[in-house]
Every structure is written in structure tokens, then in C-alpha cells.
Structure 1
Amino acid sequence: MDPHPAPLRRLITLLTRLPGVGEKTAERLAQYVLSAPEAWVEELSRGLLEARRNVRLCTRCFGLSASELCPICSDPGRDAAILCVVEQPSDLAVLERSGAFRGLYHVLLGAISPLSGVGPENLRIAELIERVAAGGVREVVIATSTGVEGEATAAYLAGRLASFPVAVTRIASGVPVGGDLKYVDPVTLKKALEARRALG
């Protein structure tokens, strides 16, 4: 018999759908919500709905934004001649927190993964090629993960970009093999960006 009342069980079940949240963590979070002031719970609820309704993809880089262009793409102080390619918006956020990169970004929204049915056509690679073909880009920094999918994506991008007059570089090691950017500390990321290398 479930010891939780039906509304609490529903909340726990909903929370377990979040990435990285198991049953025990969901139960702790649900208990916290129950003990929190009602005003805070209402504010949390409004915040969740507001974020879901108002955060979208930037039409240029495919990072997260509350308007057509994200603040990074709209910033005239950024170096538009250098594009850093990442897999997910969360990777962009990690690199941005490092403070080591002052160019613009391009988010692929995934990595090539044939076993998962994700090919180049499922990613924002065509849009990246369009940005480079439009001119003004002198370097593309590939900052995909160092796992099999990230490396395959980097190799594919290097091949696709080979015909353009741009330097194609890869962030240097220091990011652990098989690791995701979101788990790498800012100092390691800064060193990896500073020691990037050419591909091909």
C-alpha cells in the first residue's frame, strides 16, 4: 500500500520525470514543497509556466532566449568572426560561465548518433553551414563532447567545413574523454579553449 496521499503521489511521480531525479529525490523535493510557504509554491508554479511559455530557441544560434535573438547574438561586443559549436544550450551556458570565449555560438541540439537514429539531418548543421557560407567567420571552434557521438560529430563537421576558408579547431584535451561539458569546471574549460587545435 502506498503510504502517500494521492496528490502527493502524483507530485512525486511528476518529479521523477525530471532528468536525474529518482524516487527518493522526488520524494524529498515533494516533501519540501509541502512544507514551503504557499506563496513560494505559487511563485514556483508561475515561474515554471512562464519559463515554459516564454523561453524559446534563438533564431540565429539555437541557444535559449526570451526573444527572437538571444543576448549573446544581440551583443555587438562579441567577436562574430569566431563561432563555437556545442551540442546543447546547457553546453553554451557552461562555456559562457568560464568567461574564456567572446565569440558567438551555434547549438546543434544534439550529436550524431546512428544507434539512436540521429543523423546530421536531425541537427542544426545545415544552419551552421549557412552561417559560415554567408561570410565573416574566420574560425569555427568545435566544442562537442569527447564521447563517441561528440567525436563523430566533430569529424563530420570538420569534413563539411573543409571547403570553406575558415580555420576549424577543436577544444583541447583537459575535458575528460567521455565527459559532458556541463560537468567540467570553468578553469579546465578555459584551458581547453585556449589550447584548441586544428582538425584535419
Structure 2
Amino acid sequence: MGYTAAPLERLIEEFSKFKGIGAKNATRMAYQVMSMTDEEAQKLAEAIQGAHTRIHRCRICQNYTEADVCPICSSAKRDDSVICVVEKPRDVQVFERTREYNGLYHVLHGLMDPINGVTAEHICVKELLARLHGDKVKEVIMAMNPTVEGEATAMYLAKLIKPLGIKTTRLAQGLPVGGNLEYVDENTLYRALSDRAEL
């Protein structure tokens, strides 16, 4: 086994902590950083530091933003009677790319997974329920990935929301079971959104 300089080993180790990045990809990324100029490496470090220190969760929808309230929640042009519930901030971008959805969002930052100890307390459920008081919200769309965890979370939330008299829907099942919203094309996602069914 060849010797790798300690700082490079540490960089590989840090990259390998990213979800979905294996040892090979982490090594590739680390060597890519090593091939950068000092200026490029500095810009990358500043971009990481800037994103980490300046971006936080919107106090309403929990999506990432620089301001107290994100541009979607603060826009007067959005339909505030509909909330689309998604698992992670990246999913908001996926829906926005369709240019067809004009409501608001709520980011859970995870899905319920009792086997691995992830319960409703570990994700942004109470923040969602806090938004549903009053008579503004008429529909909540469950837009989690069609996985076991996604379905379980959607059903759990629907049970909590139903007594409030708010319509709860889910995306149409045109999405592949076990699939990931991130990889679904805009047309499929738009059809799934348009043909959503009540839970």
C-alpha cells in the first residue's frame, strides 16, 4: 500500500463522509482538489464556508435561505392555500423546475424511519402542524419519494392533518416505486402533481 500524505488522507476522509460518496469517489475528488491552483482551492474553501455560515433554514418552510424568510414564502405571487411537503431542500428545486406548481413548500429534512430510530420528533413535523392553524391552508400535498419511509411518513402526516379539515393529497403513482424525485423528469413530475389523489 502506497504512502499518502496525511493532509490528503484527511481530505479523502472528509469527502467520504458525504452520503453516496464511496472511497473511490472521495479519492477522485481529493485529487481533483490537489490539481487546483491556490486561487481555485481558496474559492472552493470560501464557497463552502460562506454557504455554511450564511445559509440557514427559513423560519416558515424550513428550506435553506440567506434571509429570515425564503423568497418563496415571502412572495405575494404564491398560492398560500397549498403546501407541498418534501423530504429535503433539493426537492424544492426539482418542483420549481416544472414551473407548474405555484403553492408553498414545507421541507421535513428527513423521513420517519423507526427501525433506524428516526421518529416524527427528528424531522420538521411540529413546524408543519404550526402552519396549519387558521383557515388559510386548504390542501397539503405529500410529495415524498415513493419508498417505504416516504409512504409511512405521508400516512402519518395525513392522520394528523385530516382532523383539521384540510385536504391531504399525494402525488399520482406515475412515479416509479422506490424512485427518487431528484432523477424524475419535469413532465413525469408535472403529471404526478396534476393527477394527485386524496389520502
Q: TM-score range by the shorter chain?
A: over 0.9
Distance between the aligned counterparts of 2:31 and 2:8, measured in 1? 8
Q: Deviations over 1:113-145 (max 9, x none)?
A: 110112223222222222112321111111112
Determine what percentage of the aligned residue pairs are the same residue.
41
Q: Which residue identity is paired with 1:173?
A: Q
Q: Which residue identity is paired with 1:169?
A: T
Distance between the aligned counterparts of 2:42 and 2:120, measured in 1? 42
Provide structure 2 residue ranges, at least 5 long, that are not aligned to the other structure: none
Distance between the aligned counterparts of 1:28 and 1:120, measured in 2? 37
TM-score, normalised to structure 2's length? 0.94
- Equivalent position SS for 2:47: helix
**Aligned: 1:196 with 2:190:** no
Distance between the aligned counterparts of 1:9 and 1:119, measured in 2? 35
**Aligned: 1:95 with 2:95:** yes
Q: Deviations over 1:31-68 (max 9, x none)?
A: 22222221111000000000011111110000111111
Q: Corresponding residue for 1:22?
A: 22
Q: Which residue identity is paired with 1:142?
A: M
Distance 1:17 1:121, change over 3 A: closer
Q: How far did 1:104 drift?
A: 0.2
Provide structure 1 residue ranges, at least 5 long, that are not aligned to the other structure: none
Q: How far did 1:98 drift?
A: 2.1
Q: Corresponding residue for 1:144?
A: 144
Distance between the aligned counterparts of 2:114 and 2:13, measured in 1? 31
Distance between the aligned counterparts of 1:27 and 1:55, measured in 2? 28
Distance 1:182 1:37, change over 3 A: same
Q: Corresponding residue for 2:74?
A: 74
With 67-76 and 126-135 compared, the bigger mean Cα shift is at 126-135
Distance 1:59 1:11, change over 3 A: same
Q: Which residue identity is paired with 1:175?
A: L
How do 1:82-161 residues align onto structure 2 when only pairs under 5 Å count? 82-161=82-161
TM-score, normalised to structure 1's length? 0.93
Distance 1:123 1:33, change over 3 A: closer
Q: Corresponding residue for 2:37?
A: 37
RMSD of aligned residue pairs (Cα, Å): 1.4
Q: How far did 1:100 drift?
A: 2.3
Q: Corresponding residue for 1:8?
A: 8
Q: Corresponding residue for 1:52?
A: 52
- Equivalent position SS for 1:82: strand
Distance between the aligned counterparts of 1:85 and 1:28, measured in 2? 35
